[in-house]
Amino acid sequence: MRIIDLHCYPGTEEWFQASIAPYAEALTEYWGRPFVPRTAEELLGELESTGVEAMLVAFDAETVTGRAPCTNDYVAALRDAHPERIAGVWGSVDPLKGAVAIREAERAVKELGVVGFHFHPIAGDFDMDDARFYPLWDAISGLGAAIMVDTGTTGVGARLPGGGGRRLKRARPFPALDDLAVDFPQLTIVAAHPSWPWTDEMIAIALHKANVYWELSGWGPEYFPEALKHDIPRRLQDKVMFGSDYPSVSFSRTLDAWHGLGFRDEILEKVFHANAERVLGV
């Protein structure tokens, strides 16, 4: 069975410095294991051993963090060098960069062939439904690209005073993703993670909006809220997709837990690859 991981970070020094270096000590405590950079060779070895094809995710929250991005060129180069294990890439643009972000989105789609763009509203400290960003969403929609948006709580800033300045409300799916789906009906929107503590809100949005989908990375599937586990093989079977959130969660650990849920093979076929193939053309 083909396995496409919709949400896989490189885990390398380039990504580490761009995204989580300031939170490494707190994340080590949060996850209960050392949170340190890995090599591209380690990533590729784990992909090979588990049979997973990854969609790598770039990272740009430079306006707020002051840290240089893990660039679209970087993840695209890894894809080009290892097409047998890297099925595609999600680019990243910082919405707070305005016209610069729009130009980079256009370049990343036309020149680098990114599938779409990942946004981390908590790390970037912005709201997806901020009217300032509508020209960016319009441009991405016009390019035929998708967006993937982190929803629910995050390990970034966890167990730090004031959460390290990170606001969980930025990643609440309602009303932001519901409004975005209405205002940009041709834009494919993929919610990332199980959206806890707002899982029921995300279930409602995914069921109501034809252009909204959901990848469930970042959690052991056995810990999914019961409503989500109930609906995956039922109303959500054509909406949800597999993701790991590597290096936070390993491929093998996530896959073992998915198989442990007891879903029928035809459901796992949809979650592991068929929905991503249909929705994103992977």
pLDDT confidence band for 25 (50 / 70 / 90) = confident
pLDDT confidence band for 238 (50 / 70 / 90) = very high
- pLDDT tens across 37-83, in order? 999 999 999 999 999 999 999 999 999 999 999 999 999 999 999 99
**pLDDT for 65:** 92
- pLDDT tens across 73-110, in order? 999 999 999 999 999 999 999 999 999 999 999 999 99
Percent of the chain exceeding pLDDT 70 equals 100
Q: Please give the model's pTM, rounded to 2 decimal places.
A: 0.96
Task: Kindly state the average pLDDT of the residues 4-15.
Answer: 97
Domain ranges of the chain: 3-280
Asked whether residue 24 carries a pLDDT value surpassing 80, the answer given is no
**pLDDT for 215:** 98
DSSP calls for the chain: --EEEEEE---SHHHHHHHTGGGHHHHHHHHTS------HHHHHHHHHHHTEEEEEE-B--HHHH-PPPB-HHHHHHHHHH-TTTEEEEEE---GGGTHHHHHHHHHHHHHH---EEEE-HHHHT--TT-GGGHHHHHHHHHTT-EEEEE-S--STTTTSGGGGG--GGGG--TTHHHHHHHH-TTS-EEEES--TTSHHHHHHHHHH-TTEEEE-TTS-GGGS-HHHHHHTTTTTTTTEE----BTSS-HHHHHHHHHHT---HHHHHIIIIIHHHHHH--
CATH placement of domain 3-280: 3.20.20.140
- pLDDT tens across 157-213, in order? 777 889 888 899 999 999 999 999 999 999 999 999 999 999 999 999 999 999 999
